[in-house]
Amino acid sequence: MSEESKRREALIYHAKPTPGKIKVVPTKKYASQRDLSLAYSPGVAEPCLEIEKDKDQVYRYTSKGNLVAVISNGTAVLGLGNIGPEASKPVMEGKGLLFKIFADIDVFDIEVDTENVDEFIETVKNIAPTFGGINLEDIKAPEAFEIERRLKEELDIPVMHDDQHGTAIISAAALLNAVELAEKKLDEVKIVISGAGAAAISCSRLYQSCGAKIENMVMLDSKGVIRKDRDTLTSEKAEFATDRKIDTLEEAMKDADVFIGLSMADIVTPEMLLSMADNPIVFAMANPNPEIKYDLAIATRKDIIMATGRSDHPNQVNNVLGFPFIFRGALDVRATKINEEMKMAAVKSLANLAKEPVPEQVNIAYGETKLTFGKEYIIPKPFDPRLIAEVPPAVAKAAIESGVAKRTIPDWDKYQDTLRERLGSDNKLVRLLLNRAKLDPKRVVFAEADQLDVLKAAQIVYEEGVAMPILLGRKETIESLMKEIEFEGDISIIDPKTEEENERKNKYAKVYWEQRKRRGVTYYAAQRLMRERNYFAAMMVNEGDADALISGYSRNYPSVVKPMLELIGMRHGVSRIATTNIMMTKRGPLFLSDTSINIEPNGKVLAKIAQMTSHVVKMFGMEPVIAMTSYSNFGSSDHINASKVREAVAYLHRHYPNMVVDGELQTDFALNDEMLRNRFPFSKLVGRKVNTLIFPNLDSANITYKLLKELHEADSIGPVMMGMKKPAHILQLGASVDEIVNMTAIAVIDAQQTELRELENAKK
């Protein structure tokens, strides 16, 4: 993707569909007059009075305890400099988003229009009662130091300037591990620090707490090396001033073991890297562009241990790994500050986690085959689900032990469980899906590539390395749309209606005719049929010219499913096809079957649908917990509609005793464990979180999924076709670009599995 396309993509992402990245959502009921009389006047007066009597009750009756202010004045925004409070807002909203998705902390981002230290402090102090914690962000040095110091002294909630301490914690953890890998000692390494601002000063101080020696450090600011004989140094810079008679970065880098960049893009040259000691450690952390580009650094020295602040290379040393989890731990024990002990606990926890075996889920999420502690993995990845369970408890424990916690944690195991529960799983699932596809991308034919949304999706999967698209449709239209959306690459475009494709069409027609010549199909009819894009696409998959097919964006389901069934057909040993839809609900992903094919399945077919869905759930890396739904609960009705579900459950219990499935059950009992436990304690589903609902017929399944989609604002993936011999997937009419991308990932994973199945069959 060109730089210009990336720029536009970022702008559209922020502008549409709703400007910005954050909104406020009520957490209480507000449906009735009664609800409103509780939420607001008169009911609201009661908690007000309780809090008036005892201020601490504010944590009990309001959202304060889980609400952090991300506050900036826009004077040092990333490495972009002093761009002002309004221009800093996208970054602050971004931090809010990260707080939420990684640690379930709510954020108000606040941009303050002043560069005056007293005014800024006054503003923060005045609004502090609203918040459980204050995250100062992107405020330039030296003002940042005084602002943080005074706010810490004057407020009784945790205050952290993230660019200082967040960065220090993460980079210290990474540095400890990098030094170990370079087989050096922290108290001996020579460290060059480019930058003498908020981040650099604080990092250098923490490295000292970890064992690095100040006499081994050389620090530079925009004017060059900070020497003791330089005029007018701030007290923070003076702390790091060197006796060495050098002035430039070039001189400082000679024989250095470590380079820490918290300054500006592209100030380090390959020559400087070459002058460093063996196994040099280079953390080029300026954002968005590092002090030296990752690829250039790696190409310059093979023995380098390299990290940047960016997510698109190995070793992302960025404070995103810290602030969500540090504040989570601090808020949960109501710490009054974030002190040295808590920071050090976070450093150790992060450094140690990088040495633990990496869960498969993380490998998949990052499209890696096997991440292991080493030069390209010195620090955990932000999407590592273990972070939420490891770092906050370490921070909370340190807060309790160092006497700054107002609450304790009575049961640490239980605390870890609640932390894990906090992680939303909807986006994780999509990420998992895309990354699993990326591990082995396949050729996917898009039967309606002359539709703009389909083409945009094809562009995304191509650029992200999820699939190799083959575009079917009117060549001219496709080419002109591709130009419009700047879709470039070595992509094959096929128009089945043109003479150019006659040879292939004739080949496909012959295969089709051979299969059906005794069933009334003439060769001429077969030839005509191959002009039709869905037949042509299905034939491509059948003949191995593509690995999977996607269609259905512009046509109704039955007209697309027919050629697929006719040409590709069902998998060996399967007597039915069915579909499942994955709804990304607030309680996690929910698989609903059969949403598109079997109108009135009997008990046996229902059991098959449950089995097929169970395989798909596993394909997503989850353990299926299946409720067979009905209007009846465990025999409360004898109607055939209920008894056929019972029959399916009995069959599954008899033949697949390890399958976690039960019913027949009403959906509220299926989804509410407490209700289920109270009324039906014998159910196999008690104590499990149901993630799959099998419906008694097509009406109920289809209506439910469409209803959920419309009312719930839940994303839907699917319908995923189950039981086909080769991967063919049908979109919903007018599916969105995201839905088509997700579906393509499913098609690719399906193709990966089909390949494995075929290999195994061949062995037999």
Active site residues: 40, 95
User: What minimum distance in Å lies between the beta carbon of 501 and ligand NDP?
Assistant: 52
Compute, in degrees rounded to 10, the torsion defined by CA atoms 644, 645, 650, 655: 100
Report the candidate in 719, 722, 717, 716 with the shortest Cα–Cα distance to residue 750: 722
> Do residues 337 and 406 make contact, with C-beta atoms less than 8 angstroms apart?
no
Helices 323-332 + 85-103 axis angle, to 10 = 70
Interface with ligand NDP includes 194 (CB under 6 A)? yes
Please give the backbone phi and psi of residue 422, each rounded to the nearest 5 degrees, phi first: -65, -25
Residues 6+ apart with CB under 8 A from 254: 275, 276
Asked if 168 interacts with ligand NDP (CB under 6 A), we say: no
CB under 8 Å to 10, separation ≥6 — which residues?
A: none
Q: Which stretch binds ligand NDP (CB under 6 A): 27-35, 188-196, 347-355, 393-401?
A: 188-196
Q: How many CB atoms lie within 10 A of CB 41?
A: 9
Number of C-beta neighbours around residue 110 at 10 A: 20
Contact flag: residue 264 with ligand PYR (CB under 6 A):
no
How far is the C-alpha of 678 from the C-alpha of 687, rounded, in Å? 11
In the list 22, 51, 78, 525, the residue contacting ligand PYR (rule: CB under 6 A) is 78
Query: Based on CB atoms, which residue is closest to ligand PYR, 318 or 632?
Result: 318
Residues that contact ligand PYR, how many (by CB under 6 A): 8
Does 111 interact with Mg ion (rule: CB under 5 A)?
no
Site string for Mg ion, 134-173 (x = CB under 5 A): ----x------------------------x----------
Kindly determine how many residues on this chain lie close enough to bind Mg ion according to the rule CB under 5 A. Answer: 2
C-alpha closest to that of 654 among 693, 578, 701, 603: 603
Contacts of 378 (CB under 8 A, 6+ apart): 174, 177, 178, 181, 305, 307, 315, 354
State which residue, 199 or 429, has the beta carbon closest to ligand PYR: 199
**With respect to Mg ion, which residue has the nearer C-beta, 109 or 138?**
138
Q: How far apart are CA 599 and CA 456, in angstroms?
A: 33
**List of residues 6+ apart from 262 with CB closer than 8 A:** 167, 193, 194, 195, 197, 199, 200, 203, 285, 286
Report, in Å, the least distance between residue 386 CB and Mg ion. Answer: 25
Q: How far is CA 249 from CA 109, 202, 219, 489, in A?
A: 37, 20, 9, 41
Compute the least distance from the CB of residue 68 to ligand PYR, in Å.
15
Partner in contact with 382, chosen from Mg ion, ligand PYR, ligand NDP, none, beta carbon below 5 to 8 Å by kind: none
Q: Which of 72, 135, 216, 263 binds ligand NDP (CB under 6 A)?
A: 263
**Which residue, judged by CB position, is nearest to ligand PYR in the bound state?**
287
List 132, 195, 473, 723, residue binding ligand NDP (CB under 6 A): 195
Q: Is the dihedral of CA 299, 304, 305, 308 positive or negative?
A: negative
60/66 Cα distance (integer angstroms): 11
Residue with Cβ nearer ligand PYR (148 or 450) = 148
Q: Is 704 in the site for ligand PYR (CB under 6 A)?
A: no
Rg (CA), the chain: 30
C-alpha–C-alpha distance, residues 741 and 464, integer Å: 10
**Total residues interacting with ligand NDP, rule: CB under 6 A:** 29
Least distance in Å: CB of 414 to ligand NDP?
32
Beta strand 692-694 pairing with 67-72: unpaired
Residues in the chain: 764
Using CB under 6 A, pick the residue from 318, 336, 596, 598 that binds ligand NDP. Answer: 318
Q: Which lies closer to ligand PYR via its Cβ, residue 162 or residue 236?
A: 162
CB of 647 to ligand PYR, least distance (A): 58
217 is written with which tokens? Answer: 């450090």
Residue 713 backbone dihedrals phi, psi, to 5 degrees: 55, 30
CB of 466 vs Mg ion, minimal distance in Å: 31
Window of 31-39, 261-269, 345-353, 724-732 that interacts with ligand NDP by CB under 6 A:
261-269
Q: Is 196 in the site for ligand NDP (CB under 6 A)?
A: yes
Token readout for 548 is 């999977």
Q: Which residues of 412-422 are buried (b: 16+ CB within 10 A; e: fewer)?
A: eeebbeebeeb
Residue 125 or 140 with smaller CB distance to ligand PYR: 140
- List the structure tokens of 181: 């890998």
Binding site partner of 633, from ligand PYR, Mg ion, ligand NDP, none, Cβ cut-off 5-8 A by kind: none
Among 163, 236, 257, 495, binds ligand PYR (CB under 6 A): 163
Choose which of 134, 189, 268, 285 interacts with ligand NDP (CB under 6 A).
Answer: 285
Residues 120-149 that bind ligand PYR (CB under 6 A): 138
Which stretch, 45-53, 96-104, 193-201, 536-544, contacts ligand NDP (CB under 6 A)? 193-201
E strands of 152-190, at which residues? 159-161
Among 132, 309, 441, 603, binds ligand PYR (CB under 6 A): 309
Tokens of 226: 């900070």
- The residue within the footprint of ligand NDP, chosen from 124, 179, 220, 746 (CB under 6 A), is 220
Q: Given the complex with ligand NDP, which of 317 and 419 has the nearer CB atom?
A: 317
Per the listing, tokens 């698209």 go with: 469
Among 62, 287, 361, 402, binds ligand NDP (CB under 6 A): 287
Using the 8-state DSSP alphabet, how is residue 262 labeled?
-
List the interface residues with ligand NDP, window 427-456 (CB under 6 A).
none
CB of 11 to ligand NDP, least distance (A): 20
Q: Which amino acid is at 280?
A: P
Residues 348 and 354: beta-carbon distance below 8 Å:
no
Residue 580, amino acid = T
9: enclosing H helix or E strand: helix 3-15
Minimum distance, C-beta of residue 268 to ligand NDP, in the bound complex (Å) = 10
Least Å distance, CB 193 to ligand NDP, is 9
* Binding partner of residue 222 among ligand PYR, Mg ion, ligand NDP, none, CB cut-off 5 to 8 Å per kind: ligand NDP
Find the shortest distance in angstroms from Cβ 76 to ligand PYR: 7
Question: CB neighbours (10 Å) of residue 408?
Answer: 11
Based on CB atoms, which residue is closest to ligand NDP, 195 or 382?
195
Q: Residue from 36, 78, 511, 622 that binds ligand NDP (CB under 6 A)? A: 78
Pick the closer one to Mg ion by CB: 163 or 448: 163
State whether the Cα torsion 381-386-389-391 is positive or negative: negative
Instruction: Between 164 and 459, name the residue whose CB sits nearer to ligand NDP.
Output: 164
Q: Give the C-alpha distances (Å, rounded to integers) separating 206 from 175, 405, 676, 710.
A: 11, 22, 52, 51
Nearest to 261 by CA among 188, 201, 200: 200
Residue 268 contact partner, candidates Mg ion, ligand NDP, ligand PYR, none, CB within 5 to 8 A by sort of partner = none
C-alpha 212/C-alpha 207 separation (Å) is: 5
**Among residues 64, 140, 431, 688, the one that binds ligand NDP under rule CB under 6 A:** 140
Which residue has the CB atom at the shortest distance from ligand NDP? Answer: 197
Rule CB under 6 A: say whether 319 interacts with ligand PYR. Answer: yes
Toward ligand PYR, which CB reaches closer, 309 or 441? 309
- Do residues 99 and 320 touch, judged by C-beta distance below 8 A? no
Note the residues at the interface with Mg ion (CB under 5 A): 138, 163
Residues that bind ligand PYR (CB under 6 A): 78, 138, 162-163, 287, 309, 318-319
Q: What does the binding site for ligand NDP look like in residue numbers (CB under 6 A)?
A: 76, 78-79, 140-141, 163, 167, 194-200, 220-223, 262-264, 267, 285-287, 309, 317-319
